[in-house]
Amino acid sequence: MKKVLSSAVLCLLALCMLCIGFVNIDAVAFAANVADKDIDISSRSAILMEYQSGDVLFSKDETKHLPVASMVKMMTILISLEELQAGNVAFDTKITTTENASSMGGSQVFLDPYVDYSFEDLLKSVIMASANDASVALAEYFNGNEKAFTNRMNKRAKELGMNDTHYANCTGLPAPEQYSSAKDTAILLKEILKHEEYHKFSTIWMDKLVHPSGRETELVNTNRLIRYYQGCDGGKTGSTNEAGCCLGASAKRGDMRLISVVVGAENSKTRFNESAMLFNYGFSNFDSEKLVDSDVSVGQIKVSKGKQDIVDAYAGETFAAVVKKGDKSGYETSVEMKNSVSAPTHKGDKVGEVTVSKNGNIIKKIPVIIKEDIKHLSWFETAHTILEKW
């Protein structure tokens, strides 16, 4: 008995040492600074993109058609979030599972068939645990069956300009006609990150799914970077024999958010390390320079026949550009506005335009707007104003 117990303890200690060593090795790799060095990416394809501008800071065969495994589920996630935003579904909406959904193999949360799960639990299971069964349950709920939902996925991809993508299912399970690219995956993740609800689940490391029967399934986020890489707050993994190991991830430090995608890494450790390497390169070598600030007035405009004579004008949106650290040359902004407007004016009225150029080439035009309503003077107020001036 003592011999058996001792063996068990030794095995447990060995397992702990292995886990600790594995985490430490990765942590050191994640902390490595690759600034001013060539980036050696062994994965089949990769890209590093700045979130706001969409500028590509590094790429390797970024438009190559490749299987991307469970990163396909990112489109399932996006459509689900858009349905939520449109008010067509709520977090507490009950979704009845089918035998087809619950029988999905691969990564899963072991859904029971013919019972009700909340939309929130199903979405969380896809974002955190890459659950195939939850993905199909969502697809069937929104479009009746997976095939119809897949057609919708392809339509949405075209709308986003994802020209190197074709979906055959909503899970990423191997299919000969299914492919995407690192660039398209970055475009897709960029769109997902616009939804605040996504971050409610993407940053959770461990959780559990409580089934209607009371049974529990442990959920562990498949994206290890959210735990080990400073600033990482979202992403999606994928892994099959055909696709290799894949990862699309996002990290934010200061005012700059980056998106990295690696496709076809030889193993899981490589995909995380190479994603971290790309992030390190971006944060070490580039800055996000705010060229247009929507909170700062770009000028004033005279108001005729209004209850105030002058109104501040603002850019309709903030715009930041990615620049090499220490080099902010090449960018220029110019403002063209009306000299005056007549009341009444309304919040959001366009009164001009901000033009952003780089090396003489226009890269962005932003409307200049008024942020307040200005009422028209009444006949009595007009007469009184004229009399005062006289």
Active site residues: 70, 73, 130
Q: Give the residues across from 159 on adjacent strands.
A: none
> End-to-end distance of the chain based on CA atoms, in angstroms?
109
CA 15 – CA 298 distance, rounded (Å): 62
The encoded tokens of residue 47 equal 């890209």
Residue 129 contacts residue 152 (beta carbons within 8 Å): no
Q: How many residues does the chain have?
A: 390
101 CB-side CA count, 13 A: 28
356: Cβ contacts below 8 Å, ≥ 6 apart: 291, 292, 319, 321, 331, 332, 333, 362, 363, 364, 365, 366
CA 135 – CA 157 distance, rounded (Å): 17
Phi then psi for residue 271, to 5 deg, are -65, -40
H helix runs in 117-229, sequence order:
119-129, 132-143, 146-159, 182-192, 196-202, 225-228
Cα-based torsion angle of the residue sequence 157, 162, 167, 172 in order, rounded to the nearest 10 degrees: -110
β-pairing, 297-304 with 340-342? parallel
CA distances for 89 relative to 19, 95, 221, 224, 233, angstroms = 41, 10, 24, 30, 25
CA 168 – CA 178 distance, rounded (Å): 5
